[in-house]
Amino acid sequence: MAVSRPGPAGFAGGSGPGAVTLQPNPITLMAKYKLEYIWLDGYTPLANLRSKTQIKEFAAFPKLAELPAWGFDGSSTRQAEGKSSDIVLKPVAVFHDSTRKNGVLVMCETYLHTGAAHPSNSRATIPDDPDTWFGFEQEYFFYKDGAPLGFPPGGFPEPQGPYYTGVGYKNVGSVAREIVEQHIDICLDAGINIEGINAEVAKGQWEFQIFGKGSKSAADQMWVARYIMARLCEKYGIDVEWRCKPIRGPFDAPLDWNGSGMHSNFSTKHMREVGGKAYFEKLMAAFAKHMDEHIAVYGPENHLRLTGLHETQSIDKFSYGVADRGASIRVPHSFVNNGYKGYLEDRRPNSAADPYLVAGRILKTVQSVPTT
Ligand code: ADP
Ligand code: MN
Ligand code: MN
Ligand code: MN
């Protein structure tokens, strides 16, 4: 830790008996912080997380406004041609990183040197509203040596059934729980609103839930929670498989394994405080009308997952239903019991979807419906 001491410590004033006054010691403690700048690359249809560290000195944990813009070589991330490859990183959200001494996680947007948002910068394009709340349920698979964690080499474990919220070595193995526990703690230390975890339906499949207010903040937290998980798994020789249908098999056969979703729960101030059946029905009509625009941003390969089986609706149908896990939008019992007030669950977004685009699209459709 660097200490800057301007002048001899503690004393100021003249000399001679009685002339010395004790002053507060003007010490400024500076520390070198490790700033991990995180961004989304230009790969399609599924962007990858990228990050790099810069070390800078601050008097205290840095605030967002104190973090400088930075840059990277976009020709290595499918974000630029080689001849003009500098892409600007603009910090947009800052989190504590308890895995590193003086660690900071800095979520960034990408910009061209002209000042325009990079085409891959989905965050820059979405509407925001701090009174719209999102709860994302992120499902994913742990993968080791090319197969879900716990699958025997070249084969399959017992059919799914006991794995969902399961306990015991034969259901969850010996490593996964250690990882998800650490992930909770790192997220909490970071100030991310992680709300829970559970083992999921397929072996090696898990879920965590992230809640946030505003489409940008909720999705920032989601991306950083994904980053933390992917980085945490490195030391276990495990990868996170975000794709929505990594294990395929004939339907209705024993080898038919669940896909991964990112159920997106949402509520606006109007939905929470006013609601009503008439407004709800107008809202659902708007979701039906914009079905294609929603599906377009709900994640790649979603036709493999939204089949009408495994608690999903088909990709080409829109439906809603009370407590209906086979509907596109599930309406919680509490919503109806409270006079059509509260939150709704869009079950269609998949595990690999970009939460910026998902939250932005939901908000856009909701905002298209008049509240009077
Ligand atoms: P399930 O697995 O039964 O679908 P979860 O408990 O996994 O449900 O997830 C419920 C999600 O709903 C959580 O992410 C939570 O943050 C979110 N949620 C709860 N209340 C609200 C609300 N008022 N607005 C938006 N999201 C909400
Ligand atoms: Mn859930
Ligand atoms: Mn789930
Ligand atoms: Mn759900």
For 31-124, give the CATH class. Answer: alpha beta
Q: What is the pTM of this model?
A: 0.92
**What atom in ligand 1 is closest to the CA of residue 342?**
23
Question: Mean pLDDT throughout 235-247?
Answer: 96
Residue 15 has pLDDT above 50, yes or no: no
Domains in the chain: boundaries? 31-124, 133-367
Provide the CATH topology of domain 133-367.
Creatine Kinase; Chain A, domain 2 (3.30.590)
Burial string for 157-185 (b: 16+ CB within 10 Å, else e) reads: beebebbeebeeeebbbebbeebbeebbe
pLDDT at 94: 98
pLDDT at 249: 62
Answer yes or no: is the C-beta of 263 below 6 A from any ligand 1 atom.
Answer: yes
pLDDT at 143: 98
Answer yes or no: is the C-beta of 265 below 6 A from any ligand 1 atom.
Answer: yes
β-bridge partners, 105? 36, 95
Residue 86 has pLDDT above 50, yes or no: yes
Answer yes or no: is the C-beta of 209 below 6 A from any ligand 1 atom.
Answer: yes
Q: Tens digits of per-residue pLDDT, 313-327?
A: 999 999 999 999 899
- Both structure tokens of 249: 């098999």
Answer yes or no: is the C-beta of 236 below 6 A from any ligand 1 atom.
Answer: no
Q: Provide the pLDDT confidence category of residue 133 given band limits of 50, 70 and 90.
A: very high
Q: Provide the pLDDT confidence category of residue 12 given band limits of 50, 70 and 90.
A: very low
Best mutation site among 131, 132, 136, 137 for ligand 1 pocket (most ligand atoms within 8 Å of CB): 137
Q: Whose CA is nearest to atom 19 of ligand 1?
A: 135
Q: Tens digits of per-residue pLDDT, 109-130?
A: 999 999 999 999 999 999 999 9
Residue 26 has pLDDT above 80, yes or no: no
Residue 5 has pLDDT above 60, yes or no: no
Residues constituting the chain: 372
Q: Provide the pLDDT confidence category of residue 301 given band limits of 50, 70 and 90.
A: very high
Question: Mean pLDDT throughout 88-105?
Answer: 98
Q: How many Å apart are CA 245 and CA 160, to the nearest integer? A: 15
pLDDT at 57: 97
Radius of gyration of the chain (CA): 24
Least Cα distance to 265 among 357, 354, 348, 344 occurs for 344
Question: Mean pLDDT throughout 75-88?
Answer: 89
- Both structure tokens of 79: 């974000």
**What atom in ligand 1 is closest to the CA of residue 266?**
25
332 burial level (CB within 10 Å; 0-12, 13-18, 19+): middle
Q: Provide the pLDDT confidence category of residue 9 given band limits of 50, 70 and 90.
A: very low
Three-class secondary structure of residue 255 per DSSP:
coil
Out of 5-14, 150-159, 209-218, 258-267, least confident range: 5-14
Q: What is the CA(245)–ligand 3 centre distance, in A?
A: 14
